[in-house]
Amino acid sequence: MDFRARRQFAALLVFVMILGLAGFIFWRSFVHEETCSDGRLNQNEEAIDCGGACVPCLVKNRKEPEVRWARATSMRADMYDAVVEVRNPNDRVAASRIDYEFRLIDGAGNIAARQRGRSFLYASELAHFVEFGIRATSTIARVEFSVSDTDWVVSDALRPDIIAADRVYAVEERDGVRVSVARALLQNRSLRDMADLRVTAFLLDESGNLLGANGTEISEVRPEDSVSLVFSWPVVFGAPVEAIIIEARPKRFDLSNP
């Protein structure tokens, strides 16, 4: 190859390189890889960046759990039981896993105790999460509750239809000691056997303050069966009991529940 041919080849090579660089810049500027966060309706999405290959639109547009109240009570000076009432406002989206934390705050505003836990919420469910036996470093004045992480799924599953009927509260004497007792009849109104249930009981006064919390576990309840429940506390509460909340929930989230 003579000198003139080499110069022509070099010029052509430079031209091709410039053309390639211009094409790359154009592609980077105007042609985007399809993703679930590109702000465009593509890759079979139902709406922008959701549905199709992306997260379901119901999950993307979900509302966060609503915390109704969080309170604590103590049977001993340094040990507390904490309860929160929480609602899932989504009618077709369930929280299959909820990681949460209770923070017990003393009168000076200091965190006297932290307790983490895990639960779940069916679609549209109102439920209570409870942590027993939290050791605090000082007397508690209020309770804070927060959700740290959640797994959301599209689900039409509902909480099993299990109710606590015939709820009553009384002060009884046992071995010469007066104790507080709550009784109820647990009824399985669903169409299948329910296993591994966690049953919790809460007593509230007329102002909604938490007087007592307790819990038990039931291995199985057949359809239309009833189970007698008895919860007791080794004290007589200082305020009248105005509300008895007894709640039965599976230990684990079940997508198959009709």
- DSSP secondary structure string, 109-178? S-EEEEEEEEEEE-TT-EEEEEEEEEE-SS-EEEEEEEEEEEEEEE-------EEEEEEEEEEEEETTEE
Q: Identify any residues that bridge with 169 across adjacent strands, giving them in sequence order.
A: 182
Lowest mean per-residue pLDDT among 49-53, 107-111, 125-129, 183-187: 49-53
Q: Are 201 and 210 in contact (CB under 8 A)?
A: no
pLDDT the model gives residue 46: 85
Instruction: For each of the domains in the chain, give its residue range(s) and CATH number, in order of start.
Output: 3-58 (no CATH), 62-154 (2.60.40.3230), 162-250 (2.60.40.10)
pLDDT the model gives residue 10: 60
pLDDT tops 90 at residue 5: no
Q: What is the pLDDT of residues 49-101, one digit of tens each?
A: 888 888 899 899 999 999 999 999 998 888 999 999 999 999 999 999 999 99
pLDDT tops 70 at residue 12: no
End-to-end CA distance of the chain: 81
Q: What is the pLDDT of residues 130-183, one digit of tens each?
A: 999 999 999 999 999 999 999 999 998 888 999 999 999 999 999 899 999 999
Distance of CA 255 to the CA centre of its chain: 15
Interatomic CA distance for residues 12 and 24, integer angstroms: 18
- Average pLDDT of the chain, as a whole number: 89
Q: Identify any residues that bridge with 170 across adjacent strands, giving them in sequence order.
A: 181
Which residue matches tokens 């705050």?
105
Closest CA to 231 of 221, 241, 219, 220: 241
CA dihedral over 17, 22, 28, 31, signed as positive or negative: negative
Q: Are 194 and 188 in contact (CB under 8 A)?
A: yes
Structure token digits, residue 41: 């309706």
Largest CA distance in the chain: 118
Helix (H, G, I), strand (E, B) or coil at 203: strand
